[in-house]
Structure 1
Amino acid sequence: MKGVILAAGVGKRLRPLTETKPKVLMPVLGRRLIEYPLEFLRNLGVDEVVVVVGYMAEEVSRFV
């Protein structure tokens, strides 16, 4: 099964935090924000995930 995570966007409302890091890599309760949907999809049996990125895409790609 395939899954999609929409992770594009600058995160203007989180500035100045998002000036150096994309919002999906911000820590929330000890984990990066993108880890939550990744784990959720994994638990559903999804074996392939596409992450749609825009702002600071290289940073997100390195993490994923």
Structure 2
Amino acid sequence: MTTIGVGAAIAIGVAGLAVGSIITAAAMPPSCQMVNVNGFNYQRCGNTWYKPQYAGSNVNYVVVNPPQ
């Protein structure tokens, strides 16, 4: 698994991240929208879906396949 910080996410372009990649909350584009699917919250940025992953009080986002 790859963890991406703010600078790397901007350099790569968030849409280019592979499923399983992790980005920090600070690296999330401001245009993302929260979507609830089957009781789970996701962030959707264009065609890329993210699931929050918590570590204590910190949150990162994992790129996932679109929920069904």
TM over 0.5: no
Structure scoring higher RCO (CA < 8 A, sep ≥ 6) equals 1
Give the TM-score of the pair, scaled to structure 1: 0.24
Whichever structure has more helix as a proportion of its residues is 1
Whichever structure has more strand as a proportion of its residues is 2
Larger Rg, first or second structure (1 or 2)? 1
